[in-house]
Structure 1
Amino acid sequence: MLHVIGAAPGSHANQDYHQVWLESDERQNVLRELDSMEKELAKLPVDETIDHREFAAPFYRQFLLVTQRVFQQTWRTPTYIWSKMFLSITPSIFIGFVFFNANNTIQGLQNQMFSIFMFITIFNPLLQQMLPTYVDSRDLYEMRERPSKTFTWKAFVLSQIVSEVPWNALIGTLAFLCWYYPAGFYHNAQGGGSQEVHERGAYAWLFCVIFFVYIGTMAHMVIAPIELADMAGTLAYLFFTLCLTFCGVLVTPSALPGFWIFMYRVSPMTYFVSGYLSNAISNANVTCSADEYRVVTPPNNTTCEAYFADYIAAAGSGYIRDPDSRSECEFCPLSSTNDWLSLNEVNYNQKWRNLGIFCAYLGFNVAASIVLYWWARVPKKSSRVKDEAPKQTLSDRPKAGEEYALKGESSTSVSV
């Protein structure tokens, strides 16, 4: 076509095709047809039985099909799946065996708490890994599916969130197995029998799975209104650092001054640490190691039991290694893991409350993902340009042979 009209390099047109079109019968027929449609179609009655929907399929159908497509996309990207597993399973194995079979000495209880604290650090790298994949899918949707009205933005956002849930549940289960049992959390439930072991194990598994699902929802919330994955990753890292710092491990709530107690209460990691820690070590006995006993010499040939009786009654905790000794009293300041939990302001009876609050944070992330995407990236009007040009009729339109060329340009150049 370019060669015929003289627009291709080295070609020359034999006619001015723009002028040929202006003088043709085809142009007159097109103008008459447009004029007729403008007059006659407006007289036709509106069929109220026709469903003039914005999209061809209802929302639930869009959601199911788009979710299926996202699952296929993830399955056909094995590097994404394997990297997700590597980022979750490898640290879990490392943490589990660093604190392998932690005992119930005072230091052992501290180690078990720090095991949970270190497990939380999986949060950030796993979240960062999800962001580029989401951005690629969002760019594809906003450049192709949204302009063509293939499906609504709500189906896109929800399908992205839902498609991550099974994968995060799977890697959460694998991470739980690689961490919970090597660290020896199940030992503390053995005193209550096999049923207690199973109940605590089920709670720990459920909380671990919800934790990994929460990571996915947090990733979608921070990237929803932001264009670049790097910028969203920086914001997520800031949130993660604040949540980790004020979760109650590094500083107990009573030691936090003024405003910062607010950060402890709003941090979702507070409820994960409290729920998981209380479930893992409560209702068990503490056995101090040799260097954790406080050695005291009782006066006047008094037995250790008689000497420490008033103190233990007032403190409500602690035991004596040899109550009948009269030379040296080896005193352990803790006798129960519940006493150690109370020092850290953690309550076993609140473990289900902590799980429920953590689930509320998960739901908040989903709602915020939808609202933030609508606020930042959904066009609020179908058209921002007002068409104020008057309608043209056949008599108003240019006649055959009229000049269309701009000043200083030939009609052929305008046509091309």
Structure 2
Amino acid sequence: MVGFSFFQPGQSILGVQNAIFSVLMVCAMFSSLVQQIMPKFVVQRTLYEVRERHSNMYSWSVLILANILVEIPYHVVLGVMAFAIFNYTVFGIRSSEDQGLVLLFFVYFYILAGTFAHMVVAPLPDATTAGRVVTILFSMMILFAGVFQTPIALPGFWIFMYCVSPMTYLVGGDAVSGLLGDPIVCSHAELAVFQPPTGETCGAYMQPYLEQAAPGTLLNPDATASCSYCPLGYADQVLARSGMYYDERWRDWGLGFIYIAFNITAVFAFYYLFRLRIWGLWIEKFVKTRRQRTV
């Protein structure tokens, strides 16, 4: 749906910005995916805690690991399908490396959603409570991804959210893989039109500025009136405003494994601390109190 909503966004500055925003819109599915996974885990966890744990059929760590691993094939299939629909409608056909990296980012996105869902719901009593926590965390991640507000424009206190949000690296790596190197063709509304001095061509008038590594392109250097200047020449310049660089694309993908590993580690830690230790002690105390009152 997102791919066809932003179908062939064009090569203008606005078109490149729309393409970047389309990647962010794909990431907006994150919250919905997470909230569909959590109720399934709660059902399995409840069954284990009520029946399987007391019969020693299997360990709690097996429960968690099985729930995470069983979803990975589905995440891979979803990632491939989403890539096929989105990549060719928005980015078009690019080099094998770039298209392969976009595919890897899509697969990573779905695996991240799955592990994040388990991390949030593992210590909490139900999926409804976990859903409220997910909404808050997701809002923070998506708002500070560098698209709505560039990193330079963020207040100093909030720059850390830009650095720790997984969406920063997901959107950045995906966008540069699909857009970098594309020339910008400014629309008429994006052109800077001005008049050169009498008897002087646009090229001669703009030459000192253009020789200083000007970022844009003069479209009619031989004209003597209505000089048209496109302020940007390549999509790289639009991406750089949001801190997205092609040289960092593989780093951005590699950081995804750190987030996934953190989520998985946190699932085990949270479940052990809150469901086995703190929660278990509370249940034991509650049962003991009830027995004393009965006596």
TM over 0.5, shorter chain: yes
Conservation of the 8 A alpha-carbon contact between 1:186 and 1:201: no
User: Equivalent residues in 2 for 1:75-154 (5 A)?
Assistant: 94-154=1-61
Runs of 4+ in structure 1 over 4 Å off:
379-382
Conservation of the 8 A alpha-carbon contact between 1:278 and 1:347: yes
Q: Confirm whether residue 186 of structure 1 aligns to residue 92 of structure 2.
A: yes
Output one character per residue of 1:152-177: Cα deviation in whole Å (capped at 9) or x when no partner. Answer: 11111111111111111111111111
Equivalent residue number for residue 290 of structure 2: none
Q: How far does residue 250 in structure 1 lie from its aligned partner after superposition?
A: 0.3
SS of the residue 2:11 aligns to: coil
Q: How far does residue 290 in structure 1 lie from its aligned partner after superposition?
A: 2.0
Q: Confirm whether residue 351 of structure 1 aligns to residue 249 of structure 2.
A: yes
Q: TM-score, normalised by structure 1?
A: 0.66
Letter aligned with residue 77 of structure 2: L
Output one character per residue of 1:273-326: Cα deviation in whole Å (capped at 9) or x when no partner. Answer: 111111111012111112211101000321111211222333531111111111
User: Equivalent residues in 2 for 1:208-223 (5 A)?
Assistant: 208-223=106-121
Conservation of the 8 A alpha-carbon contact between 2:2 and 2:25: yes
Letter aligned with residue 318 of structure 1: G
Distance 1:318 1:204 in 2: 28
Which of 63, 67, 71 matches 1:156?
Answer: 63
Distance 1:379 1:344 in 2: 44
Q: Measured at CA, do residues 313 and 341 of structure 1 come closer, stay the same or move farther in structure 2, by a change above 3 Å?
A: farther
Equivalent residue number for residue 290 of structure 1: 188
Q: How far does residue 147 in structure 1 lie from its aligned partner after superposition?
A: 0.4
Count, aligned residues: 282
User: Equivalent residues in 2 for 1:6-405 (5 A)?
Assistant: 94-183=1-90, 185-187=91-93, 189=94, 197-379=95-277
Letter aligned with residue 325 of structure 1: A
SS of the residue 1:259 aligns to: helix
Note the residue ranges of structure 1 that are not aligned, 5 or more in a row. Answer: 1-93, 190-196, 386-416
Letter aligned with residue 254 of structure 1: I
SS of the residue 1:314 aligns to: coil
Conservation of the 8 A alpha-carbon contact between 1:268 and 1:358: yes
Root mean square deviation of aligned Cα: 1.6
Question: Which structure is larger by alpha-carbon Rg, 1 or 2?
Answer: 1
More contact order relative to length (CA 8 Å, sep ≥ 6)? 2
Output one character per residue of 1:343-400: Cα deviation in whole Å (capped at 9) or x when no partner. Answer: 2221110001111112211110000001000111125899x79xxxxxxxxxxxxxxx
Equivalent residue number for residue 29 of structure 1: none
Distance 1:216 1:102 in 2: 30
Output one character per residue of 1:108-144: Cα deviation in whole Å (capped at 9) or x when no partner. Answer: 0011011011111111111111111111100101111
SS of the residue 2:156 aligns to: coil
Note the residue ranges of structure 2 that are not aligned, 5 or more in a row. Answer: 286-295
Q: Measured at CA, do residues 343 and 313 of structure 1 come closer, stay the same or move farther in structure 2, by a change above 3 Å?
A: farther
Distance 1:138 1:344 in 2: 41
Equivalent residue number for residue 293 of structure 2: none
Equivalent residue number for residue 54 of structure 1: none
Conservation of the 8 A alpha-carbon contact between 1:247 and 1:267: yes
Output one character per residue of 1:231-269: Cα deviation in whole Å (capped at 9) or x when no partner. Answer: 001101110000000000000000001111111111110
Distance 2:130 2:200 in 1: 67
Normalized per residue, the structure richer in helix is: 2
Letter aligned with residue 139 of structure 2: T
Bigger Cα displacement from structure 2, 346-355 vs 301-310: 301-310
SS of the residue 2:92 aligns to: helix
SS of the residue 1:178 aligns to: helix
Letter aligned with residue 31 of structure 2: N
Q: TM-score, normalised by structure 2?
A: 0.92
Distance 2:209 2:238 in 1: 17
SS of the residue 2:212 aligns to: helix
Conservation of the 8 A alpha-carbon contact between 2:17 and 2:238: no
SS of the residue 2:87 aligns to: helix
Distance 1:344 1:237 in 2: 24
Distance 1:375 1:161 in 2: 19
Identity score, percent: 37
Distance 1:356 1:333 in 2: 34
Distance 1:313 1:378 in 2: 68
Conservation of the 8 A alpha-carbon contact between 1:301 and 1:327: no
Q: How far does residue 107 in structure 1 lie from its aligned partner after superposition?
A: 0.8
